[in-house]
Amino acid sequence: MSRRQPPVPSLARRRCFVTGAASGIGRATAIAAAGRGAELHLTDRDASGLAETAAVIERQGGRVLTADALDITDHDGVQALAAAIHAAHRSVDVVMNIAGTSTWGTIDRLGHEDWEQMIDVDLRGPISVLEAFVPAMIEAGRGGHIVNVSSAAGLLGLPWHAAYSAAKFGLRGVSEVLRFDLRRHRIGVSLVCPGGVATPLVESAKIRGVDPDAPELRKLRDRFARHAVGPEQVAEKIIAGVERDRYLVFTSNDVRLAFLAQRWCPPAYELAMRRLNDRLEAVAARAAARSAS
């Protein structure tokens, strides 16, 4: 494939739609994009957090065109918000699908509602956003860029992540196809695959069948937090991915190395996944024994 000029080499004066903007990666990315001169359309189901993000951006001299609370699983609501934005401001230039949620557990511990929630929030929601905004980007003919935030769990067979991976691998597939489908329209696509990120999702992630207050689990969370990168670092990687037209965007070297091992050294990858699985099962067993005693 021949090299080309990035469709969005700078976010200055570009209209960006960002989901999940009330906290975590979404907030950090919205603030960073505003600092680059982007004009923001923001949404999140957390109305108060969203208003706080918009206030921070405006205090720093940024421009927020829209800050409307919305649950991206509401397909009709997404369509209505897109229609309102297009009517008032024309099509957007960059779409950033960042909103998400997470539930972990083995298949015997997950409920059907867990699978439904992961698919609804982490796959159907982003698809609704793409349906609502991308056709107008194509029609406008100005090019643009799409950011889909997947996960390490969208690349790797991480233990206890079956439901989460179902959605994140699905988003990866959508991105892989759009990467080529939209090239003729000068619309780039970035698939962001974070590993550990210090966001509220770390504490809010549900783990089925394990007491969230068990010391063993708390120790794992603390270890995770020590190795996690900050949302601001992830935001910088995302913006660099847009401005340099990168498809795969890694936010930490551990995920990059695991992905390379999966592709080029399968035995090492398989051994690492088996050991991680055994370790998590041992933690769950100790936690269960403590609760039963």
Report the interhelical angle of 215-227 vs 266-292 (nearest 10°): 140
What burial class does residue 120 get, using C-beta atoms within 10 Å of its C-beta: 0-12 exposed, 13-18 middle, 19+ buried? Answer: middle
User: By C-alpha distance, which of 66, 98, 52, 53 is closest to 234?
Assistant: 98
Short-list 111, 94, 98, 234, CA closest to 163: 111
Task: State how far the Cα of 26 lies from the Cα of 42, in Å rounded to an integer.
Answer: 9
Q: What is the DSSP string of 156-206?
A: S--TT-HHHHHHHHHHHHHHHHHHHHTGGGTEEEEEEE--SB-SHHHHH-E
CA 148 to CA 248: how far, in whole Å? Answer: 10
Burial (CB < 10 A; 0-12, 13-18, 19+), residue 136, is: middle
* 23 neighbors 202 (Cβ within 8 angstroms): no
Catalytic residue (one of 17, 104, 164, 250): 164
Is 164 catalytic? The answer is yes
Active site residues: 164
